[in-house]
């Protein structure tokens, strides 16, 4: 069995990106209290395919915000002091997401954070959201083989944006990252962003 060429992979990624765009997806990103099993959502943003913000909110976590995490996204305890909790914002978030294709860069992480945020409040996570992971598509589009992992190399969102010449300010904040995710999908599809 032969492996596809980089050009074939890239063309397949372009076609996939165009198919995703035809569904008029929404884009989601979160900022969190960390990466581990106890981490939860601190900020969430959802935009539409035109780049309009559908939902944007800081979220008051049940736990604390580690200083090392604040250094990454800049969100401090004082920023979320008067924010609504995850259970308070979830109904509105769910109503925007339900039944729509959601493009997420590293969907596995953000979906896990949503489930963990539910768990912090002893809420069951039964959601079956329709998601598309742009991290995986970009890895295929870029076509850099990682022999250690035996798959295409993953790139962080900000690195992917830089590799494609997409410059957006305020990286590591949810709305800026949704805008970058949107721009990256449009870039792969070969359409203006």
Q: How far is CA 187 from CA 153, 164, 166, in A?
A: 19, 8, 9
pLDDT number for residue 3: 56
Domain span including residue 54: 6-188
Q: Is residue 1 part of a domain?
A: no
Tell me if 193 is assigned to some domain: no
**C-alpha span between 158 and 100 (Å, rounded):** 25
Mean pLDDT of 163-191: 91
Q: Would 69 be classed as within a structural domain?
A: yes
Burial classification of residue 29, based on how many CB atoms lie within 10 Å of its CB (0-12 exposed, 13-18 middle, 19 or more buried)? buried
Do residues 94 and 127 make contact, with C-beta atoms less than 8 angstroms apart? yes
**Which of 28, 42, 143 is CA-nearest to residue 96?**
28
Q: Is residue 24 part of a domain?
A: yes
Q: Which of 97, 89, 98, 156 is nearest to 117 (CA)?
A: 89
In DSSP terms, 26 is beta-bridged to: 102
Query: Taking 70 as the threshold, does the pLDDT of residue 17 lie above it?
Result: yes
Residue 141 falls inside a structural domain: yes
Q: What CATH number has the domain bearing residue 118?
A: 3.30.420.10
- Check residue 4 and give its pLDDT: 64
Average pLDDT (94-102) is 96
State pLDDT tens for residues 183-193: 999 999 999 98
**Within a domain: 23:** yes
- Closest-CA residue to 90 (of 112, 60, 114, 109): 114
Is the pLDDT at 41 greater than 50, yes or no? yes
- In our burial notation (b when 16+ CB lie closer than 10 A, e otherwise), range 108-132 reads ebbbbbbebbbebeeeeeeeebebb
What integer is the mean pLDDT of 64-92?
93
pLDDT-derived band at 136 (thresholds 50, 70, 90) equals very high
Question: In a 10 Å sphere around its CB, with 0-12 CB exposed, 13-18 middle and 19+ buried, how is residue 165 labelled?
Answer: exposed
pLDDT reading at 103 higher than 60: yes
- Residue 167: its pLDDT value, please? 81
Q: What is the tally of structural domains in the chain?
A: 1
Rounded Cα–Cα distance for residues 105 and 141 (Å): 14
Alpha carbons 55 and 41: distance in angstroms, whole number? 14
pTM above 0.85, yes or no: yes
Is 82 a domain residue? yes
pLDDT higher than threshold 80 for residue 134:
yes
């Amino acid at each position: 069995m032969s492996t596809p060429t980089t050009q074939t992979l890239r063309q397949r990624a372009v076609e996939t990106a165009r198919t995703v765009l035809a569904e008029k997806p929404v884009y989601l990103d979160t900022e969190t209290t960390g990466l581990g099993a106890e981490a939860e959502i601190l900020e969430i943003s959802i935009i539409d395919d035109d780049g309009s913000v559908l939902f944007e909110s800081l979220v008051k976590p049940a736990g604390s915000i580690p200083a090392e995490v604040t250094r990454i996204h800049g969100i401090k305890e004082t920023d979320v002091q008067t924010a609504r909790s995850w259970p308070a914002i979830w109904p509105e978030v769910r109503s925007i997401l339900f039944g729509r294709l959601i493009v997420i860069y590293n969907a596995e992480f953000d979906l896990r954070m949503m489930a963990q945020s539910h768990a912090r409040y002893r809420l069951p996570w039964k959601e079956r959201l329709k998601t598309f992971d742009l991290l995986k598509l970009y890895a295929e589009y870029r076509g850099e083989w990682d022999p250690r992992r035996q798959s295409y190399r993953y790139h962080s969102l900000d690195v992917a944006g830089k590799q494609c010449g997409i410059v957006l300010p305020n990286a590591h904040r949810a709305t800026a990252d949704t805008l970058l995710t949107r721009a990256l999908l449009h870039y792969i599809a070969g359409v203006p962003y």
